[in-house]
């Protein structure tokens, strides 16, 4: 029963996210531009494309993925984006991410993220 409830919840979240996307409310950004414009994009639906470089599944009831798209630099700290989702991907997958920009999320125990995209829908490129 719990598994079915979880599947229904995931389906509803995906439907809600896709409905917003279809309504044209998402903003297409790069990782670097999201870092630059994060204050203006807070709470907005964004779309990014890139490669998954790190995956941690099942942490605090969600999957944590790191996305890079070739923009930004590691020296400036604007070349990597943390994404959370109920979906997952593999390291090396080329994906499109749709999710909500969240700033200054503190999960406790030292896990604080100044910028992340949460509740993401992940589409793998074929």
Which residues are paired to 55 by β-bridges?
A: 65
Note the pTM of the prediction, 2 decimals.
0.79
For 54-69, what is each residue's pLDDT tens digit? 999 999 999 999 999 9
pLDDT given at position 110? 85
Say if residues 69 and 51 touch (Cβ distance below 8 Å): yes
Q: Domain map of the chain by residue range?
A: 2-124
> What's the rounded mean pLDDT across residues 89-112?
95
**What pLDDT is attached to residue 111?**
86
- Extended beta strands in the chain, E state: 27-28, 45-59, 62-68, 81-85, 94-106, 112-124
Is 2-124 assigned to CATH 3.40.50.300?
A: no
Q: Which long-range contacts (CB under 8 A, 24 or more apart) does 6-11 make?
A: 10/86, 10/87
């Amino acid at each position: 029963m719990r598994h079915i409830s979880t599947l229904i919840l995931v389906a509803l979240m995906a439907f809600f996210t896709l409905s917003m996307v279809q309504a044209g409310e998402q903003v297409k950004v790069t990782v670097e531009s999201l870092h630059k414009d994060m204050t203006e994009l807070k709470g907005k639906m964004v779309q990014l494309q890139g490669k998954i470089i790190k995956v941690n599944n099942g942490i605090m009831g969600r999957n944590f993925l790191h996305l890079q798209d070739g923009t930004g630099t590691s020296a400036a700290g604007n070349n990597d984006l943390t994404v959370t989702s109920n979906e997952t991907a593999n390291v090396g997958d080329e994906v499109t991410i749709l999710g909500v920009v969240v700033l200054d999320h503190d999960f406790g125990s030292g896990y604080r993220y100044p910028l992340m995209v949460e509740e993401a829908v992940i589409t793998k490129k074929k």
